[in-house]
Amino acid sequence: MFMIKSFSSSAMQNAFAIRLILLVLVVRLSSAQLSSNFYSSSCPNLLSTIKTAVDSAVSNEARMGASLLRLHFHDCFVNGCDASVLLDDTANFTGEQTARANANSLRGMDVIDTIKSQVENVCPATVSCADILAVAARDSVVALGGPSWSVVLGRRDSTTTTLSAANNNIPAPTLNLSGLISSFSNKGFTAKEMVALSGAHTIGQARCMTFRPRLYNEANIDASFATSLQANCPRSGGDSNLSPLDTVTPTSFDNNYFTNLLSQKGLLHSDQQLFSGGSTDSQVNAYNSNSASFFNDFASAMVKMGNLSPLTGTSGQIRLNCGKTN
């Protein structure tokens, strides 16, 4: 009896110790989690400050909405949503801005810098550039008529990145469907979520060099559509000439992107791959038929993307200048 009693007491002490350790871990984890009210006390006017600046920028140039959304996407797909895309190259550091997907095409950093400056004036050394990117992306979509979603906050900024990380993680416009599914799956997205996020191409423009091969070499493209684009995108030259990704409503966030795919009017090879006799055809059809379904799924996928490997707690830093570490 004595031995059994002694064992029970020891077991109880061990169980209590384990519970205490678990409790400490839970507290630590919860304190590092993202939250929609993360800045409610430390920077209560943050969201209105960002929204005003984004609305102004998009009003001045509608394309800026797509550019800010793209910045967030290209940030999150490379080592998580940590504002690494904003880091400028230095003498001993090469960042992401000259990667294949970013070189001569990243836009909106000036808008982010303006917002950061405004935020620093009212909440010094408090709000991360990564969080500003996440909120600006949401506000850009809303400004162009798209859905809204709750942006959780509390990300911190990275202190480093690599060119190779950007080259290896951002999906290329030349990818086939299997490559697209794989690229997004590597980040935890389903094929359905990949299609929803691709719907971001309902806004924005692309350079001739990214779709020239499709215009002149592919069969699954509407002939008149191809012809209409060839004058602005010749077989040689004009690499940086722009065409809207959605020629119907290029500055409105809607579901016309999917309608275009049904008519073989996807601008990029990767766009048309979503509706080309493959496994995602049915999802493209569904979003073409039901814009509310697309809006809902896009918003949910954006929340998920914003949660990709954030730096929280004491990891990273709050950059004072988004283009360089402190």
pLDDT digits (tens, 9 = 90+) for 258-270: 999 999 999 999 9
The answer on pLDDT for 160 being more than 50 is yes
Question: Is 171 flagged in the annotation as binding?
Answer: yes
Percent of the chain with pLDDT over 90: 89
The answer on pLDDT for 314 being more than 90 is yes
Least confident of 41-50, 87-96, 255-264, 316-325: 87-96
Nearest to 151 by CA among 138, 164, 167, 142: 138
The answer on pLDDT for 323 being more than 90 is yes
Q: Which of 63, 74, 187, 214 is catalytic?
A: 74
Considering only the C-alpha atoms of the chain, give the largest distance between any 2 of them, rounded to a whole number of Å.
94
pLDDT at residue number 91: 85
Q: Which residues contact 203 (CB under 8 A, 6 or more apart)?
A: 62, 63, 65, 66, 69, 144, 245, 246, 250, 251, 252, 253
The answer on pLDDT for 113 being more than 90 is yes
Single-letter residue type at 320: L
Single-letter residue type at 84: S
Mean pLDDT along residues 60-65: 98
Q: Check if the beta carbon of residue 318 is closer than 8 Å to that of residue 125.
A: yes
Can you state the angle between helices 291-306 and 129-143, rounded to 10 degrees? 170
Residue 33: which pLDDT band, with cuts at 50, 70 and 90? confident
Q: Which residues contact 66 (CB under 8 A, 6 or more apart)?
A: 140, 144, 200, 203, 204, 205, 245
Question: Is 281 flagged in the annotation as binding?
Answer: no
Mean pLDDT of all residues belonging to the chain: 92
pLDDT at residue number 6: 42
Angle (CA) 298-303-305 rounded to 5° is 90
Angle (CA) 32-34-40 rounded to 5° is 105
State phi, psi for 325 to the nearest 5 degrees.
Answer: -75, 160
Catalytic residue flag (residue 269): no
Percent of the chain with pLDDT over 70: 90
Question: Is 201 flagged in the annotation as binding?
Answer: yes
Question: Is 88 flagged in the annotation as binding?
Answer: no
Q: Which residues contact 17 (CB under 8 A, 6 or more apart)?
A: none
The answer on pLDDT for 317 being more than 90 is yes
Question: Is 78 flagged in the annotation as binding?
Answer: yes
Over residues 126-143, the pLDDT tens digits come to 999 999 999 999 999 999
Residue 14: which pLDDT band, with cuts at 50, 70 and 90? low
